[in-house]
Structures are given as structure tokens and as C-alpha cells.
Structure 1
Amino acid sequence: MIIREDAIYGRQSVDRKDSISIESQIEFCKYELRGGNFRKYTDKGYSGKNTDRPKFQEMMADIRRGLIKRVVVYKLDRISRSILDFATMMETFQEYNVEFVSSTEKFDTSTPMGRAMLNICIVFAQLERETIQKRVTDAYYSRCQHGFHMSGAAPYGFQLEPTTIEGIRTKMMKPDPETADIAKLMFEMYSQPGISFGDIRPLLCRRGHPDLRQGNDTGLYLPTFEKPHLRTG
């Protein structure tokens, strides 16, 4: 005979350093269980925007195997920030008679009003996630407009120079005196009909450019856009 157990699920995103730790989440949930036995599933460094989380998927598989009777989370948005994913999850819970409990939010899922409040909360959880995403995207766009270098190494033909923009220390790209002419030549070659990426390296090597002849693969950077754009730009 299979004995069904309680399950605790915890999740923490890597980009939310101010969020409560998984360890603290587990302690809150254990209090809800009043000392009973439980299975623990934790996903650290995963977003709640979808269900592509290994331990979440393992928990759902155990539910379908009839091993779990109740799932406890610290807060609703720890298990999902997607309306569609949450609805699908709750359908599975209902199908396998699994109770859902949030240790910091009290929902009575046995009543229509309780289920409605649960759905309203997940709507706001998804809204918060999408608002954060837009704020981050807007911040990147604004920094790019002001000339900030966002991340990564400079492409071949450029170098990064420390600078200060509006009181903020950052880096900007500027032409590299030693390689800028070669980079320009690479663009000119690629813009010609019949010239492919594979043709450029041997052509440059035959012209005696030392970086390429010595096998400096990092130098072979070209944007991946179509030739017509390159010719008309």
C-alpha cells in the first residue's frame, strides 16, 4: 500500500538576491506541517515564469504516481508566476486529490471564493514578473541609448575604454588602432557577392595580417546579418 506524504516546494531565482532563501522557505512550510514527515523539492536559480524546473517536474511526477497528498509552499509565486501553468498544475492537483497550501497566504480551495482569490493572486504574480522584465528591458535600452557598453568583450576592431557617463562609471567601445582597418576590410569583403564567412580568413591571411595568420580565432567576429543589409547600410 502506497502511503501518501506531504511535499514542500521551494524556489529562489538567482536574480532576486533580496528574496527569502530556500532554507527559510522550508522552515516556514515545516511549521505548517506541525512536525510531520514530508518530501522536499527545491529549485535554486530557476524562474517562476514557466515549469522548466527539475525538482518541480519531479514533484509533479510523484503526484501522478500517487505519492503526495498535499503541497506546501512559502508563497504562491514560489511555485508559479504564470496563469496558464498554475491553472494546469491545479487541474493535476484536483485530479489526484492533492491539497495546495501557502504558509503565508491562507486559501480555502474547497470553496468557490477561495479558488477565485487564488486565481486573482496568481494574476498579480504574473503581472509582477512581466513588470520586472519590462523594467529591466527599459533600463538596458536606456543605457544603450546613452552609450553604455552592456556586457561582454569588444568585437574585433574595437576596444573598451573606461569612461564616466552621467556620473556612472562604465566602458565605451572605440576603434582599436591596431585592428580597426582589418575589421573594416572584413566588412568590405563580406559585402561582396559570392564571398562567405569561410572565404574571409584565407583572404586576410594571404594579405599577411599577423593576427589571423597566427590563429587568433577571436578576431573573426562578423555580425550575422544578411548581405543586402550590409550593402545598403
Structure 2
Amino acid sequence: MARPSNRGTEKTSNQNTKNSYSTATYIRLSYESYYTDSESIENQKLLLRDYLKQHREMVLCEEFIDDGKTGTDFERPAFERMMKAVREGAINCIVVKDLSRFGRNHVEVGDYLERIFPLLGIRFISVNDGYDSFAKTCDKEQLLLSVKNLMHEMYARDVSKKICSSIKIKQKTRKFYRSAIIPYGYKMGLTEYEIDEQTAAVVRRIFQIFVSGESMYQICSTLNREGIASPREYSKNKLLYTKSNEDACWFTSTVQRILKNEIYVGTMVRHKTEQELYNDKKTEAVEEEDWIRVENTHPAIIDKIIFEKVRRKLNKGSTKRGKQ
């Protein structure tokens, strides 16, 4: 993620004026968070800038923003840049909206607050928690702060565990959610996918042309020449034909995804990947034999016989490339 623009914020040199602090604000929003407006990036910015206006001894040097990063660990690009600035002596004060924005791991957050920041002489302020490490009442508030922090971590792990558990139960009982992105060739009905005849005709044509012997590159050339909008362009404008532009172009990777997608024979496939955030487990691919397939969940666009011909042809092409 690119470093955020700091237009409108005041830059300072490493030399502090007397009784002033070279201050960084830290903002984070988790990618899995169903955040409220108060937690949004812009509202965190407004709250922290307003706080600094009321505390003139804190001179804002830079805003560090991790958008779409979990709080269960500290491997975040903006956070690491901020700590680099701290170690270089450019920053001696950090201000956050609340501890949950700083992090949700009780042990690591406690290590920063009780050991690392005091050792480096860093003033740490959590606005909504009313915490200021340089305040005289800091020691009295420390226990309450630690309890709050533990609750944040437990909440993050509990929510993640419940979501993962719910998804696994649905998969085992063959109940599936419909993805937010509707597959090209379909539209969303009340409870299931329905055929979008306009784009379904393009899908059928792609399969027929490929079975007849043309390559994916030739299919792309034909569709682009005729001005047929790509799936990305169609999802934006709902127009089958479009003027040529980068988003409107068909690519062989797009055609290949369509030719391999079992959605077109009425089969829903899930559990291709798995992730357990509460165990800090990253997304991993699942072996194909462990994928979960449920047939006849929605109307088919492609006949299974044609789909199998395409599958065999694709597998044959992969085998040839592998031997080269």
C-alpha cells in the first residue's frame, strides 16, 4: 500500500522545539471487519487530527495507515514504517483512536506498552481509552487498560472462530452462500442464480468455439473484434457491447476461467481454500479431491457432455505443456 498523502498536515524536522513532541498518528482498519462509521479510515483521521488541535505540544509529522490489515499480529507495512521512524528518532509520540486499532493481541500490545515504548522514550496515547503513558495517573489505569486489551483480542478470535465454524457446518450439510460476485452468464434471483440470457449466449458460444478447435487466444480475438464487453465491463455497465478499452478486453485467462468453471453445469463448488484467522492460519489451497461439490443448485447453461469434452481438451493441453 502506498504511503498516504499528508497534504494539510504539518511537517517537522527531527529537532523538537522545547516541550513539543514529534507525533505520528496510527490508523488501522481490518479487512474482515464489518466496521461502523466511527471506525472508518476517514473518521479515525478526523478524530485524531481534532485531538492534536487541542494538544498543541504534539506536532503531527506523519499519518500511518494500514487499510485492510488484521490486528492479531504486527506484520503490517505502515506499522513497520512507523516503528522504523521511531527507532531513527524521528517520532517520539504515537496517538491512536483506541487500543483495538493499535492491535488485538494482548501479549504483543502489552509488550509495546510496558517495555518497548518506555525503553525508547515514546509517549503513547489512546484517545478513546483516555490513556496517556506520560500522565501521572498512568499506573492506576494500566490494569484496566490491560483488561480492555485482552477483551479486544478474545473478541477478535471468538468472532473469527464462529465465522469459520459456521462456514464449515454449512459446507458439511451442503448449504452454500452465494458469492458477492455473480458469475458471468447469471443474474441473482430471489434465492438462487438465474440465467442471464444475454451473457449466457456468450458463454455457450465460448464453449462451442473451443470444442470446434479454436484456441482461447482466437476466442478472445473474436470477442474483442465484435466489441463484446468482458465480464468485468459487463458487471459495471450491464451492456453487452462496449467501446474498446482496457477493462472491456477479453484475455485468455478470463476465457480459461469460464471454460473450467463448474458453475455452468449447475454445480456449486466450495472449500477450494481454507483459513482460520483465530489460529493465525493464512489462506491455503485445498486439494481438489477435498473440494465440496453440490449438483443442481441452479440452472445449467452448459450441457455436461460438452463441459466434459472441454475438460478433457484442457487437461490434454496441460499434459502437452508439461512434457515440453
- Unmatched tracts of structure 1, length 5 or more: 163-170, 183-208, 220-233
- Provide Cα deviations, 1:129-177, integer angstroms capped at 9, x if missing partner: 0111111012102211321246889887994448xxxxxxxx9622884
SS in 2 for 1:43: strand
Tell me which amino acid in the other structure corresponds to 2:26. Y
Contact 2:126 2:132 in 1 (8 A): no
Deviation at 1:15, TM superposition (A): 2.4
Matched, 1:11 2:11: no
Matched, 1:178 2:305: yes
CA-based RMSD? 3.4
Give 1:143's aligned residue.
170
Tell me which amino acid in the other structure corresponds to 2:312. L
Size of the aligned set, in residue pairs, is 184
- The 2-side partners of 1:125 and 1:57 are apart by 21
SS in 1 for 2:129: coil
Q: Please give the residue correspondences for 1:1-233 in structure 2 after superposition, counting only pairs within 5 Å.
A: 2-3=15-16, 5-19=22-36, 20-34=39-53, 36=56, 37-38=59-60, 39-90=62-113, 91-109=115-133, 110=136, 111-149=138-176, 159-161=265-267, 173-174=294-295, 177-178=304-305, 211-213=311-313
Deviation at 1:215, TM superposition (A): 5.3
TM-score (norm 2): 0.49
- The 1-side partners of 2:75 and 2:310 are apart by 47
- The 2-side partners of 1:139 and 1:29 are apart by 37
Change (3 A) 1:55 1:133: same
- The 2-side partners of 1:179 and 1:87 are apart by 60
Deviation at 1:52, TM superposition (A): 1.1
Change (3 A) 1:130 1:218: farther
Deviation at 1:17, TM superposition (A): 3.6
Change (3 A) 1:161 1:88: same
- Unmatched tracts of structure 2, length 5 or more: 1-13, 180-256, 269-291, 297-302, 320-324
Change (3 A) 1:159 1:49: farther
- The 2-side partners of 1:157 and 1:78 are apart by 39
Tell me which amino acid in the other structure corresponds to 1:31. D
Tell me which amino acid in the other structure corresponds to 2:156. R
- Provide Cα deviations, 1:34-66, integer angstroms capped at 9, x if missing partner: 265312100101110101110001111111111
Contact 1:11 1:43 in 2 (8 A): yes
Change (3 A) 1:157 1:112: closer
- The 2-side partners of 1:217 and 1:115 are apart by 64
SS in 1 for 2:63: strand
Contact 1:14 1:45 in 2 (8 A): yes
Tell me which amino acid in the other structure corresponds to 1:42. I
Contact 1:2 1:66 in 2 (8 A): no
Overall identity of the aligned pairs, in % = 17
- Provide Cα deviations, 1:13-37, integer angstroms capped at 9, x if missing partner: 1222433211110111112212653
